[in-house]
A and B are shown apart, each in its own frame.
Chain A
Amino acid sequence: GESVGLHLPTLSVQEGDNSIINCAYSNSASDYFIWYKQESGKGPQFIIDIRSNMDKRQGQRVTVLLNKTVKHLSLQIAATQPGDSAVYFCAEIPLTGNQFYFGTGTSLTVIP
């Protein structure tokens, strides 16, 4: 089966600092990747996505980087705010399927 993992289960950052959350995936044929944010008591919320033909994509305060050579995905959050505290999941979607494979998540805590 697919394997999507996260390097660090928890991350604490000072408010205003930048955060980097990492994700490793195993299927080199995966075509599409998504980062989700899940706050306590809520469902996952779409943050940003990237396709395999791209290396970088930027959103509002967030950047996703894709390194296909080492099968690594990262989410960068600029000027982290207390409202960014949540669990972040990366999801991998293989080219041949309709199924999302999620990592176990990284818990981000922003210290005021």
Chain B
Amino acid sequence: KAGVTQTPRYLIKTRGQQVTLSCSPISGHRSVSWYQQTPGQGLQFLFEYFSETQRNKGNFPGRFSGRQFSNSRSEMNVSTLELGDSALYLCASSRQGGDTEAFFGQGTRLTVV
């Protein structure tokens, strides 16, 4: 079956712009989580959605937001981009979230210049 699909794979934006990243989970999975990965910081949790509702949120500023659609696809948005937002953004899907196996996409590499 198809894995987790993230688009686009690469993105270059300038400071102050906004960006929207997309994640299509594995068919049948209702939970989508987003993570930011930077060198030396590991994977930092952004938020998790389940059945179109945000269930959990990490310690990121309000510039980071997300949503989930009825088909479980999810988007995350970052507004007023800063240089420090340059990172690999990963999404993970699982059937229920939390205590179930999560599968990651290949990520979107965002570079802010």
Contacts and interface: CB of A to CB of B under 8 A. Distances in A.
B97 A44 contact: no
Interface residues of B, number: 28
**Number of contact residues on A: which range applies?**
20 to 34
Contacts of B4: 43
A36 B98 CA distance: 16
Interface in B8-35: 31, 33, 35
A97 interface: yes
A31 B100 CA distance: 11
A44 B56 contact: no
A104 B42 contact: yes
Interface of A: 1, 31-32, 34, 36, 41-46, 49, 51, 89, 93, 97-105
13 contacts: A32-B98, A34-B102, A42-B106, A46-B101, A46-B103, A49-B101, A93-B99, A98-B33, A98-B55, A100-B35, A100-B92, A102-B35, A102-B43
